[in-house]
Chain A
Amino acid sequence: MVTTTFLLYVSFLPACSMICLGIEGTAHSIGIGIIDDQQGTCTIRSNLIKIYRPEKGGIHPREAANHHALHLADILKASLQQAKVRSSEIDLIAFSRGPGLGPCLRTAATAARALSLSLEKPLIGVNHCVAHLEIGRGTIPECTDPVLLYTSGANTQVIAFAEGRYRVFGETLDIGIGNCLDKFGRSQDMEFPCGPKIEQLARQGTQYFDLPYSIKGMDVAFSGLLTAAEHYARQKRRIEDICYSIQETAFAALTEVTERAMAHTEKHEVLLGGGVASNARLQGMVETMATERGARFFVPAKNLCVDNGAMIAWLGVLMHKSGVRMSIKESIIDQRFRTDMVEVTWRD
């Protein structure tokens, strides 16, 4: 009886299918995603995220890690339920190896190792930034060789595939754009994450205040802009106008470096990723730039832009299929895991 059911189930699955569970835990979010790889296309079965929101101030790494540990078991259960997958059907466990906050990374990695050992399934640690790019390629079929503008709290990078690796063509020289928005928002008593609130206020902005527009080559910097914006706020200028000026200036600089990277690498696709990619104004600017260049513009679904487990799972599948294997001993986390440290074995 049992054997029959098993055979029936397998015959329904297409060839080369692989189910992977991915755990994301680099910073404020703990996420578990379950995905199904069907001949190179990523199907998302579930993708649950829980965000740690500090009552006051920024992320406290240890408290964020405690938050993750507290919610992991529940998210795991809910994820399996939503995906309609039994734990025994999972073929691979992936987790975010870095870059990120040590305590958070260790919490996610510990959970992944425990799952791997108890289910007796292979374990694979992946680079969080590369995962942001690959989930775009995996879920948008027309997106094949993009320049990624990856904008989140900690990270602001312009990444593209060149000479066998994902290379960082431009990045922030000081703080991430999300961090810049959060810092400004916090100074105005907004709640974390402040980006959505700033976006909302900016829509009512009408007057532009000059702010530093800082580009060095393909790199950007935001600390001067932040200082100037806070200065305008202290002068009691209209908050809507300040938010509008911040967005217009910072996003124009980001769009400009992305365009420079596209021209430099001679690529004709642009992809957005990271939490700030949900911002409609940023999307609009990059899309306009792409259209004017005759390039294609892509943005993944919102829950795939933010930190999530599905993107970790998908990169895990790509690496596993290309032959990458990792023992528990090798699965040590790396807080400073740079994008260009990853040997890309799954692309030509």
Chain B
Amino acid sequence: MTSRRVLYRGAEAEIQLTDHMERPAVQKKRIKKTYRIKQIDDRLIAARTKEEAKLIAEARMHGVSVPIIYDIDIEQGIITMEYLNGKRVKDIFNSLTQEGRRKLCEHIGESIARLHNHDIIHGDITTSNMILLDDRVHFIDFGLGEKNGELEAKGVDLHVLMEAIASTHSRYACCFNYVLDGYKNELHDDAAAVVKKIEEIVKRGRYR
């Protein structure tokens, strides 16, 4: 590994540009948080690194676009993976045509359904965690993900995206319905039950 450049410093991890076997790669390194005690920090970093790598590998097996994993170091909290030189969906979402946005949302919904078909919960589906590259939406940051087959988990997973679109792209909040269209097309189980769950989760929030 030669030169390193910090591509992005998120809340939880630092993404560094590096190379792996002469290929451009990124390293996601979870930053130790001194605000929390070591017991909690170590537990979270190890568990999230391990879980994230597992989920990314599994998502790829089921046909969802994700970066290829090259290497992991659980104790140090480092995942080395393929560098996706694309655009964050967050940055392009508002500037698309309405038709483009509809197609993109349907595509996102289909991918989420493929994850959910195999009980993969992303845990943080926001437009910042999607990278558009070669006309495909790649999902990154499975750091809060888990394997969970419950309706509740799937509902919450989609609800996070619904809120993210409503807060970050408030003018296009209704586009979440296109996400649901794509989701319905691809989901093996009955999508109506998941949609009902989302409605229930919305009502559960404070003052709804």
Query: Interface on A for B, CB 8 Å cutoff?
Result: 98-99, 154-155, 157, 162-163, 165, 167-169, 171-174, 208, 210, 213, 215-219, 248-249, 252, 255-256, 259-260, 262-264, 284-286, 288-289, 292, 335-338
Q: Which residues of B contact A263 (CB under 8 A)?
A: 9-11
A173 touches B144 (CB 8 A): no
Rounded to whole angstroms, the CA-CA distance of A335 and B124 in the bound complex is: 30
With both chains docked as a complex, state the minimum distance between the C-beta of B3 and any C-beta of chain A, in angstroms.
24
- In B165-192, the 8 Å CB interface with A consists of 167-168, 170-171
Q: Which residues of B contact A289 (CB under 8 A)?
A: 33, 35
| Contacts A/B (CB < 8 Å), 27 sampled | A162-B170, A167-B170, A171-B205, A173-B156, A173-B205, A174-B204, A208-B37, A210-B43, A213-B40, A216-B144, A217-B160, A248-B37, A248-B40, A249-B40, A252-B35, A252-B36, A255-B35, A256-B11, A256-B36, A259-B12, A262-B11, A264-B128, A289-B33, A336-B207, A337-B207, A338-B207, A338-B208
Rounded to whole angstroms, the CA-CA distance of A174 and B35 in the bound complex is: 24
Q: Which residues of A contact B33 (CB under 8 A)?
A: 252, 256, 289, 292
**What total of A-B pairs shows CB separation below 8 Å?**
90
- Interface size range of chain B in the complex: 20 to 34
A216 touches B156 (CB 8 A): yes
Q: Mark B128-142, 1 if CB is under 8 A from A, else 0.
A: 100000000000000
**Which 9 pairs of residues, A with B, have the shortest CB-CB distance?**
A336-B207, A217-B160, A252-B36, A263-B11, A288-B35, A285-B35, A259-B11, A260-B11, A167-B167
Q: Mark B1-43, 1 if CB is under 8 A from A, else 0.
A: 0000000011110000000000000000000011111011001
Q: Which residues of B contact A98 (CB under 8 A)?
A: 207
A288 touches B34 (CB 8 A): yes
Q: Which residues of A contact B34 (CB under 8 A)?
A: 288, 292
Q: Which residues of B contact A154 (CB under 8 A)?
A: 206
Rounded to whole angstroms, the CA-CA distance of A174 and B40 in the bound complex is: 22
Does B77 lie at the interface of the complex (its beta carbon under 8 Å from any beta carbon of A)? no
Partner of A217 from B36, B37, B123, B205 at Cβ < 8 Å: B123
Does B82 lie at the interface of the complex (its beta carbon under 8 Å from any beta carbon of A)? no
With both chains docked as a complex, state the minimum distance between the C-beta of A101 and any C-beta of chain B, in angstroms.
12
With both chains docked as a complex, state the minimum distance between the C-beta of A228 and any C-beta of chain B, in angstroms.
14
Q: Which residues of B contact A171 (CB under 8 A)?
A: 205-206
Does B163 lie at the interface of the complex (its beta carbon under 8 Å from any beta carbon of A)? yes
Does B44 lie at the interface of the complex (its beta carbon under 8 Å from any beta carbon of A)? yes
A286 touches B35 (CB 8 A): yes
Known: A99-B207, A336-B207. A252 touches B40 (CB 8 A): yes
Q: Which residues of A contact B168 (CB under 8 A)?
A: 162, 264
Q: Which residues of A contact B80 (CB under 8 A)?
A: none
Q: Which residues of B contact A172 (CB under 8 A)?
A: 206
Rounded to whole angstroms, the CA-CA distance of A308 and B200 in the bound complex is: 33
Does B126 lie at the interface of the complex (its beta carbon under 8 Å from any beta carbon of A)? yes
With both chains docked as a complex, state the minimum distance between the C-beta of B166 and any C-beta of chain A, in angstroms.
8
Rounded to whole angstroms, the CA-CA distance of A260 and B128 in the bound complex is: 12
A164: nearest chain-B partner, CB-CB? B170
Partner of B160 from A157, A165, A219, A288 at Cβ < 8 Å: A219
Partner of A208 from B35, B40, B124, B156 at Cβ < 8 Å: B40
14 extra interchain contacts, Cβ-Cβ under 8 A, other than A217-B125, A262-B11, A292-B35? A157-B206, A167-B167, A171-B206, A173-B201, A173-B205, A208-B39, A215-B144, A216-B156, A216-B160, A252-B33, A252-B35, A256-B33, A264-B126, A288-B34
